[in-house]
A = this chain, B = another copy of it.
Amino acid sequence: MIIPTFDDMLAAHERARPYIHRTPVLTSSYVNTLAGCEIFFKCENFQKAGAFKVRGASNAVFGLSDAEAKNGVCTHSSGNHALSLSYAAGRRGIPCNVVMPRTAPEAKKAAVRGYGGTITECEPSTSSREEVFAQVQEQTGGNFVHPYNDPRVIAGQGTCSRELLEQMEDFGGELDMVVAPIGGGGMISGTCLTLSNLAPKVQVIAAEPEQADDAYRSFKAGHIIADDAPETVADGLKVPLKDLTWHFVKNHVSDILTASDPEIVDAMKLIWQRMKIVMEPSSAVPLATILKNKDIFAGKRVGVIITGGNVDLAKLPWL
């Protein structure tokens, strides 16, 4: 296990910068009043390829030597990592092979193809995903860029909260906590990596769907608990922790809060309606947990990572 360092995050930022956006931070006085705290939304739904995952993917792809890049890259992913890796590989001009569950949103599959990636479908379970992926990797010989349990990816995701801290200067200063969704834990791990170095007083809180609460149970139990095929509207958050991400969760996360699928959908619709931005269900989990735990956040200054905006517009969860 190679744990990425703060210097790795800084290097990742230099390497990925030409391929990523510095996404805006938005606020809503309506949402603040409702939540009883000040929320600063870091809008990675406006990121290249529509999600924060392009940070880690770009760092991995552009960190390869020409020899390592020869056979391209490959991965398995519920969606956003697949299309981010396809985007980054396309920018470098190398092949990208991805294994995706057949149930992944059509918008995400179409985007992968649009960026030139090749999809092999699997069943929507961790076991099927890993089995099909082993075949694809053997056939292609591509460099495996794991969607989250990869030091290059975690270092890349850490660039998001570095930007957030810098951007807070426009909003009168420091944060008390940052809340981000947790699936496999790549964004949370990157957030921990950056904040534990740059702003160690800022608490990192992970937000998870009740219906895929393996990280919450792992956190309480003190060891990784993995479910094979959880089902939740937050399609990006179904995967389990792995050793690297568990390292960061165990050592740096202050708490993990959960929200039910109806609460997630309500928070998603609230953000669309009031903030006029398109974001996916996974990105609404932090606000859902804030609204049901107002005592924890009362009067605080809270950063929230809106992780992505790739959603099937024909299949909105409140319809």
By a beta-carbon cutoff of 8 Å, the part of chain A in contact with chain B is: 24, 45-46, 50, 107, 269, 272-273, 276-279, 309, 313-314, 316, 318-319
A210 CA / B45 CA spacing, docked (Å): 33
Other-chain contact of A277, B273, B277, B314 (Cβ < 8 Å)? B277
Give the chain B neighbours of A24 by CB distance below 8 A: 24
Residue from A276, A278, A279, A309 having most chain B Cβ neighbours under 10 A: A276
Copies of chain A in the complex: 2
Q: Nearest Cβ distance between residue A106 and chain B, in whole angstroms?
A: 11
The main secondary structure of chain A at its interface with chain B is loop
- In the complex, the answer to whether B46 meets A276 with C-beta atoms within 8 Å is yes
Give the chain B neighbours of A313 by CB distance below 8 A: 269, 272-273, 316, 318
Give the chain B neighbours of A45 by CB distance below 8 A: 276
- In the complex, the answer to whether A276 meets B314 with C-beta atoms within 8 Å is no
- In the complex, the answer to whether A276 meets B273 with C-beta atoms within 8 Å is no
Q: Nearest Cβ distance between residue A45 and chain B, in whole angstroms?
A: 5
Across the A-B interface, the 9 shortest Cβ-Cβ residue pairs? A276-B309, A276-B278, A45-B276, A272-B278, A46-B276, A272-B313, A277-B277, A273-B313, A276-B277
Residue from A46, A272, A278, A309 having most chain B Cβ neighbours under 10 A: A278
